[in-house]
Amino acid sequence: MTEDRPESLLGGNSNAPVRIGDHVHRVGGPWTPTVHAYLRHLRSRGVDLVPEPFGFDDEGREVLAFLPGSVPAYPLPEAVWTDAFLVRAAAVLRRLHDASADFDTAGAVWQQPTREPAQVISVNDFAPYNLVVDGDRIIGVIDLDQASPGPRVRDLAHLAYRLVPLTAPENVDGRSTPPEERGRRLRLLADAYGDVAPAAILVAVGPLLDDVAEHADRAGRPDHGALYRRDAEALPTVSAAILWAAG
């Protein structure tokens, strides 16, 4: 039997992920044991879309099950822009949130701060590039190391920002769709998740963009921080157009 050779994986930012056989080895941090407990908790509640954790290797890297499939990259494929994908993404997020509501946070160490109201464990980066897909089906959720206790609407704001989308017109990661279409997709997302008003999601996007811009700066990615700030500056105009179109 031949030894599995490490295969570098795209993405992961500073985590330097490599695949060895059926496992992914990544650089972790003080928060990794808590995130592994969170993953085990989700899987115990039937959310098998997240990778199974296997502790650490001899080099101190975290070890996770490899989830086969494709991960969307920008420019996003057409399948990711369908209504079906948006609805499925919202439903997956609801499953993650509901399953995490009773996670025991005593002694937990998180990479990101706890945000109030701490209703669930927020993924804090629930976006297409952290989903494993097969066409417009979602078959996995990865890179949950940013998770921390927080409000449900924060992740909904991130998903809406990426997939409604709520980006500035010049941001090529989004789409220059009419306000009526953005409003329709925002309502579709809210209805698919349930128990949330579209307006509440819109209100949460601004603070989210401020946070992710600061996080990008701290991570040494000022170009990303500048992009998020441009989107934040355009958000009042984008939001007003959506609300006006909705009547």
- CATH number, domain at 136? 3.90.1200
pLDDT of res. 10: 67
> Is residue 1 situated within a structural domain?
no
> Is residue 72 situated within a structural domain?
no
**Which DSSP letter does residue 30 get?**
T
> Is residue 32 situated within a structural domain?
yes
> Is residue 217 situated within a structural domain?
yes
pLDDT of res. 244: 87
Q: Across-strand partners of 122?
A: 148
133-173 pLDDT per residue, tens: 999 999 999 999 999 999 999 999 999 999 999 999 999 99
Q: Give the residue among 222, 241, 101 at the shortest CA–CA distance from 183.
A: 241
Q: Are residues 119 and 226 in the same domain?
A: yes
Confidence of residue 13 (pLDDT cuts 50, 70, 90): low
> Is residue 2 situated within a structural domain?
no
- Weakest-pLDDT range from 12-16, 117-121, 176-180, 201-205: 12-16
Q: Residue 79 above 50 pLDDT?
A: yes
> Is residue 70 situated within a structural domain?
no
* The pair of three-digit structure tokens given for residue 179, joined into one six-digit string: 């306000």
Query: What is the residue range of 60's domain?
Result: 7-65
93-102 pLDDT per residue, tens: 999 999 999 9
pLDDT of res. 7: 80
